[in-house]
Amino acid sequence: MATMIANDCINCGACEPECPNNAISQGDPIFVIDPVLCTECVGFHDYEACAAVCPVDVCVTDPKNVESEEVLIARARQLHPETSFGDSFESRFRKGQGKAAGAASDAAQTPGTPASPSAAAAPAQSGAVGGFAEADVNYVELPPIDGWNIPLRCYKCNGVHEQNVKNFTIGNVIFCPHCHKSTVVRDNLNYHIRTLLNDSYSKWANEQREFVERRERELAQFVERRAKDAAAFEAHQQRERERISEQLDTIGDTYDAAGKPYKKGSRFSWG
């Protein structure tokens, strides 16, 4: 594996449901990636799904563990024997050249006229959702939780100076750089900052997780609806084919060929 979770993980859990290989789990003290299961999403996406949703950008490449695309797709095939990945599978090694592009270029390279109207009209199949391409979401990122600076107004000289949140621990003495007056951080100030940041980061992560889950749910429903549509259309075509076949059978069966003896009582006989 070449994807790992760095120590700054805030345990939001957004990455876990995104992994197509169930490689991510809650560890102690942070989430971890099982290197035996991670394929860097090769076979599924042309990006690392965990990195795409991580609000603090800590799903990163592990420089000590580099694996080739060949190794990673072999692992995906081993983990998902029920899935046919084909040759034009999704992969971050060839961004934008996965299944959709592969199918399109395959079609472009196939000379000649299609054998049947249905073959001509058949859209290129790409993954579970045909040619559907989902819009990318450019998630806004928050800095690390202790990366904020807070402007502090000196009660003595009214000057403002920026202090990193790490300086707002209870009892810490902060000196104004303008008049050198000291301010002691009391528990109420510490409490306000800590509560604001913890609540905000938690809300941020929950909202993003819910957003991702909702999109996944909607996509699954969309795929399911299209599968039902496809099944209904297949059934319709099957019935049409049978109807055409039956009509042809009838025509052939009842054809009054020249010289065919008329049966008594048949529609063109007089007797």
Binding site for ligand SF4 (CB under 6 A): 3, 5, 9-15, 18-19, 21, 23-24, 31, 33, 38-41, 48-50, 53-54, 56, 58-59
Nearer to ligand SF4, 82 or 253 (CB): 82
Please check whether residue 144 is in contact with residue 8, taking contact to mean a CB–CB distance below 8 angstroms: yes
Tell me the closest approach of the beta carbon of residue 222 to ligand SF4, in angstroms: 22
Tell me the closest approach of the beta carbon of residue 92 to ligand SF4, in angstroms: 9
Q: How many residues are listed for the chain in this entry?
A: 271
Maximal CA-CA distance, the chain: 127
Coil vs helix vs strand at 156: coil
Within 8 A by CB and 6+ apart from 201, the residues are: 10, 12, 142, 145
- Going along the chain, which residue ranges are E strands? 3-5, 24-26, 31-33, 59-61, 149-153, 160-164, 173-175, 182-184
Tell me the closest approach of the beta carbon of residue 209 to ligand SF4, in angstroms: 8
Tell me the closest approach of the beta carbon of residue 204 to ligand SF4, in angstroms: 10
Nearer to ligand SF4, 46 or 48 (CB): 48
Dihedral sign, Cα of residue 221, residue 224, residue 230, residue 235: negative
Coil vs helix vs strand at 73: helix
Nearer to ligand SF4, 66 or 122 (CB): 66
- Tokens describing residue 49: 């799904």
Tell me the closest approach of the beta carbon of residue 6 to ligand SF4, in angstroms: 8
Tell me the closest approach of the beta carbon of residue 130 to ligand SF4, in angstroms: 23
Nearer to ligand SF4, 18 or 46 (CB): 18
- Tokens describing residue 88: 């034009």
Nearer to ligand SF4, 23 or 100 (CB): 23
Nearer to ligand SF4, 10 or 152 (CB): 10
